[in-house]
Amino acid sequence: MNHSDSSNPMPARSPLLCLEIGGGRVLRPEGAPPLPADSSGTTPLIDRATLRIPPGRSYADAQLDDTQTLARERFRWKPPLRFSVRARVSIPDPRGTFGFGFWNDPFSLSLGMGGAARKLPAAPQCAWCFYGSPPHDLPLVEGVPGSGWKAQVLSFRPLPPLLLAPIAAGGALLAALPLTRRWAFRQARRFYTAEETPLELDPASWHAYAIEWTASAVRFSVDGSEVLRAAHPPHPPLGLVLWIDNQFAVASPEKGFGFGVLPIEREQTLELEDARIESPLPA
């Protein structure tokens, strides 16, 4: 989920760009044609693609997104809309993170995916399906593990970047000290609302995922069944991202803050089919 050292365009008519780092590759079927324009309000994204990262000990990322060249205020997506995709990973428990959905690429100075057009960090906003393998640990909702495969919405109170930076720096300092760590995390929860649920399924099997985002809610469904309805949507505009990498992040009252890269022993892939966005939603 870092800034890229290479950027390749997707076929004509798709707003997505490829991001390939550390041997990560975005693969499409040989001779795959560009998707046609759709007058129904559907934005075609990809028909089929495989995101692949190789074995190794250094950071690797394979990613599709529509945020690389845009400032945050120019991100494309606002409610009401519906994103859908069929997806599977190569093994049930890949090392690192993968997922797809909407976010505002908040960490442009550090671990943000993309980040080329944005200089300062921002308060995080997201509505996505997200997986993180241990030691990844971001326990945003009480009673929900900080790792695993989840449907997740995070809505932070918007803050000006020049105000956010000192607040974040002070919070990180307090969270690094065992005596003030729990207090710092309690104070941080005043600034955001998080809603999430574990996805109790095998991500290595094909499933149809959908995220329906309106002004009043975000609804997640898997194979046609609702798994989460979040009542606090993120603040638009957001960008779309689909990725697999081998990093982890920690932000918990027990462990404090941490980031790192996990060595992987064999190739890991995220396969995608029929990714598209309907906007506005049909009546």
Residue 79 belongs to some domain of the structure: yes
* Closest residue by Cα to residue 246 from 226, 270, 213, 227: 270
Residue 2 belongs to some domain of the structure: no
Question: What residues form DSSP beta bridges with 101?
Answer: 128, 241
What pTM was estimated for this model as a whole?
0.83
**Rounded CA gap, 270 and 26, in Å?**
10
Residue pair 164/122 in contact by the 8 Å Cβ criterion? yes
**CATH number (domain holding residue 167):** 2.60.120
Residue 283 belongs to some domain of the structure: no
Q: Give the pLDDT band (50/70/90) at residue 139.
A: confident
pLDDT value of residue 202? 97
Residue 194 belongs to some domain of the structure: yes
pLDDT value of residue 282? 62
First vs last C-alpha separation in the chain: 36
In this model, does residue 178 exceed pLDDT 70? no
Residue 75 belongs to some domain of the structure: yes
Residue 81 has, within 13 A of its CA and on its CB side, a CA count of: 22
Domain interval for residue 36: 7-278
Positive or negative, the CA dihedral 15, 215, 81, 203 is positive
Residue 153 belongs to some domain of the structure: yes
pLDDT value of residue 123? 80
**Rounded CA gap, 84 and 23, in Å?**
28
Domain count, the chain: 1
Q: CA–CA distance from 123 to each of 146, 161, 181, 262 (Å)?
A: 19, 8, 20, 26
In this model, does residue 256 exceed pLDDT 90? no
